[in-house]
Structure 1
Amino acid sequence: MYSFNVPNMTCGGCARAVTSALKSVDPDAQIKTDPPTREVQIESSRDRSVFVQVLSEAGYPEKP
């Protein structure tokens, strides 16, 4: 399981956009988003770096 802190994810619309972007690279991924804490958890067999790149390209880069 991967955990990300995504500062730009501030609402439900953002959470849906994040989920959609992540599902585009792994439709079978289990994704949990929590806008109030800006946390995203992903359960997937794909490499973490794939999700880092997709989040960044979607406008939701991970907090360093």
Structure 2
Amino acid sequence: MTIRFNIPGMTCGGCARSITKAIQGIDTQAKVETDIPERLVSVETSADIASLSAALREAGYEAQAA
């Protein structure tokens, strides 16, 4: 399943790496694509949206399902 998030606080490559690490902490097999200028993240994962959202919040990012 593919889940998309809007992440207003993602402004640089460091943010994108932190977000990817947080998501892969929930699902090590997740494929994460980040679009920094659009502040969008697409995740191909078997994890549920609530778990991913919680991991992103814990990493310091507010995420809204897109």
User: Do these two structures clear the TM 0.5 threshold for a shared fold by scoring above it?
Assistant: yes
Question: Which residue in 1 is equivalent to 2:51?
Answer: 50
* Distance in structure 2 (CA, Å) of the matches to 1:63 and 1:32: 16
Question: Which residue in 2 is equivalent to 1:9?
Answer: 10
Question: Which residue in 2 is equivalent to 1:18?
Answer: 19
Q: Unaligned regions of 5+ residues in structure 2, if any?
A: none
State the Cα deviation string for residues 8-56 of structure 1 (Å, max 9, x = none): 0000010001001111111100100111100000011111111010011
Question: Which residue in 2 is equivalent to 1:32?
Answer: 33
Q: TM-score, normalised by structure 2?
A: 0.91
Q: Unaligned regions of 5+ residues in structure 1, if any?
A: none
* Distance in structure 2 (CA, Å) of the matches to 1:63 and 1:43: 16
Q: TM-score, normalised by structure 1?
A: 0.93
